[in-house]
Amino acid sequence: MRKWFSFPIREGDASRQAHCDFPEGTYERECGKEGFFGPASHMYHRHPPTGWSEWEGPLRPHAFDTNRVETQGTSPMDAPVLLSNANVQVRLWRTDTAMSYLVRNSDGDDCLFVHQGEGSLYCDYGHLRYTKGDYLIIPRATSWRLVPDEATTLLMIEATHGSYMSAERGIVGEHAVFDPAVLEHARIDDSFKAQQSDNESWQVMIKSRQQLNRVTYPYNPLDAVGWKGNLTVFRLNWRDIRPLMSHRYHLPPSAHTTFVAQGFVICTFVPRPIESDPGALKVPFYHNNDDYDEVLFYHQGDFFSRDNIDAGMVTLHPCGFPHGPHPKAFAAGKKHQKKETDEVAVMIDTRMPLDMGDAAKATELTDYVYSWRTPSDAE
């Protein structure tokens, strides 16, 4: 058995409570373990922790524009890799054409976030409509295909050799954040039955150990007449997420966890009121990435903690340095200029370091590391 050392200490000038009522002229930085769940200390600095003037070396924060990613091939299994490690693979795929074949991922569960588009998903379990802003959870080794009604862009997040589970919600109960009743599952409806066929060739593209297999059937394998159980494909739209909030305290990102997998979590930032207490921090606090790599995919809205970030862009902050709001956002937060956020973003926090794929490297915004400079710093 083991446990963290625990001995709360106070040195010098410090706030009585984290993220509130800082000593005059200071900037708070949280140094924590295990992604906001372990021991933590809060330091109060004279200068912003992100006030670097130069940066040499590969640890730097990264940003890249997925709108410029060139998707290759006709299959989601061919989608280019943006980021990956042993636990997760993040890819991007665009399509405007109905899939005349099936795909099956034998390497792990898939979470498909619909950045753009709407249409139908057909799978072993039946038929499910999808629309912009949906998460689609597809269990490992499930056969599926898309029939888009309009051009569709998917952020594909594979839980490699793992599964997606619900986050523990503790004292707030199982109906907090989103009520399980809002989840919609695939159904054996008339649309599903109509696509079944007994006398035409269908191919299934199976990804296993990062290699593709092509299996041909003389009929459509999506031929189920019924099923029962509690494993299925389901959808959750961000509009059905009701975030935990506090008007007196800026909650950490972990409060917005949507899915938990082996070695990483997926969080969803959705519109919410901004803290109204005069002494409460109004923007994300400066903090160290001491144990997790942190990825944000920006879906839509005005991203209140970042400058010059548009929908479809991704940021990666590797483990090992402090980060936080950009200077303009921090200044606006102190003035309480905005009363609520309107951003929607998907966050992926990984326990093991992420590697950047060729698609990310080709679309990187190399000056992002200097985006924390104030106007006087840049002169």
Which amino acid would we find at residue 85?
Answer: N
Give catalytic status of residue 250 as yes or no. Answer: yes
| Residue for token pair 């706030």 | 15
What are the residue ranges of helices labelled H in 134-222? 190-194
Q: Which residues contact 58 (CB under 8 A, 6 or more apart)?
A: none
Evaluate whether the domain defined by 37-50+59-64+243-370 bears CATH number 2.60.120.10: yes
Q: Where in the chain is the domain with CATH 2.60.120.10?
A: 37-50+59-64+243-370, 86-238
Q: Are 203 and 216 in contact (CB under 8 A)?
A: yes
* 10-residue averages of pLDDT along the chain (379 residues): 84 91 93 82 93 92 95 85 98 96 98 98 98 98 98 97 94 92 98 95 95 96 97 98 91 91 97 91 84 95 79 94 84 78 95 96 95 65
Query: For position 8, what pLDDT does the model report?
Result: 81
For the beta carbon of residue 238, count every other beta carbon within 10 angstroms: 22
- Residue 358 is inside which H or E element, if any? helix 358-362
Whether this prediction's pTM lies above 0.85 is answered by: yes
The residue annotated as part of the active site, out of 19, 42, 127, 250, is 250
Sheet strand arrangement including 62-65: 62-65, 313-317, 293-300, 344-350, 264-269, 257-261, 165-166
- Burial letters 20-42, b for 16+ CB under 10 A, else e: bebeeeebbbbebeebbeeebbb
| CATH code for the domain defined by 86-238 | 2.60.120.10
| 121 burial type by CB count under 10 A (0-12 exposed, 13-18 middle, 19+ buried) | buried
